[in-house]
């Protein structure tokens, strides 16, 4: 079975997808990652079979959601064949759309981002999107922490991009991050001092969500409180 991008988009809004996502979220995450990465590299299932040295039916089963818990050896072979760090496949904290979001953000930066940019830039984008449609773009869940709205999953994404990292994955395609969302991201980034981590830190405390908590950059109130 081979999916086109239109097939994928139709599937995402189907009842079948919603029911499966609720009951088999971890397998769905893995399916999205394998399928999308294969499309990044313009590989057929048969070509991936040869590169990974695994039976094609296993690839097909993974992409159809029907393969049982894959062993580490199989994921290692896929990681090598698809030229993507093993963390991309292993960690449930990492989803494909957020990888695409980070990749798009980093393509706009002038140098390798620090942890402040890893955390703050998705926050501003998600916050503005949440105000608009009550839904985030990333899978990050923000709490009030010392110098920023924070989610510890950020460290997993930082580790992923730090492996053979220059600025971004230059062969990553946008399967889940829509053109409309990319235009929205451009609009938000154009308003931000994206290369100035200190200004980003201060600006995050000027957002409505932080002001409603009545907290400041230097106090310790409401630590760990969920933001949105």
> Do 104 and 182 contact (CB within 8 A), yes or no?
yes
Nearest alpha carbon to residue 225 among 147, 146, 143, 152: 143
Judge: domain 5-84, CATH 2.60.40.2130. no
Helical packing angle, 197-204 and 115-133, nearest 10°: 40
Q: Can you give the residue ranges of every domain in the chain?
A: 5-84, 96-211
Residue 90 to residue 69: CA distance in whole angstroms: 11
pTM as predicted: 0.84
Write the DSSP assignment of 23-90 as a string of letters. H-HHHHHHHHHHHHHHHHTT--HHHHHHHHTS-HHHHHHHHTT---S--HHHHHHHHHHTT--THHHH
Q: What is the mean pLDDT of each run of 10 residues along the chain (228 residues)?
A: 56 63 71 91 94 89 71 91 91 95 91 89 97 96 91 94 69 92 97 90 92 91 93
How much is the pLDDT for 1? 41
Alpha-carbon distance of 214 to 205, in angstroms, equals 10
Give the per-residue pLDDT at 6: 63
């Amino acid at each position: 079975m081979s999916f086109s991008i239109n097939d994928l988009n139709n599937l995402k809004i189907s009842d079948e997808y919603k029911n499966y996502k609720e009951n088999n979220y971890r397998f769905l995450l893995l399916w999205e990652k394998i399928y999308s990465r294969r499309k990044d590299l313009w590989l057929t299932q048969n070509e991936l079979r040869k590169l990974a040295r695994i039976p094609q039916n296993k690839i097909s089963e993974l992409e159809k959601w029907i393969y049982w818990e894959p062993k580490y050896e199989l994921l290692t072979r896929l990681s090598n064949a698809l030229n993507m760090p093993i963390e991309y496949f292993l960690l449930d904290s990492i989803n494909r759309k957020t990888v695409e979001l980070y990749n798009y953000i980093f393509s706009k930066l002038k140098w390798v981002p620090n942890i402040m940019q890893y955390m703050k830039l998705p926050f501003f984008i998600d916050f503005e999107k949440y105000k608009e449609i009550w839904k985030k773009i990333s899978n990050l869940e923000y709490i009030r922490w010392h110098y920023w709205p924070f989610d510890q999953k950020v460290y997993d994404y930082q580790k992923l991009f730090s492996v053979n990292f220059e600025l971004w994955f230059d062969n990553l395609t946008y399967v889940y991050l829509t053109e409309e969302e990319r235009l929205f991201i451009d609009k938000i980034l154009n308003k931000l001092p994206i290369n100035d981590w200190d200004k980003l830190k201060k600006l995050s405390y000027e957002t409505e969500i932080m002001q409603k908590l009545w907290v400041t950059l230097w106090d310790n109130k409401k630590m760990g409180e969920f933001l949105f």
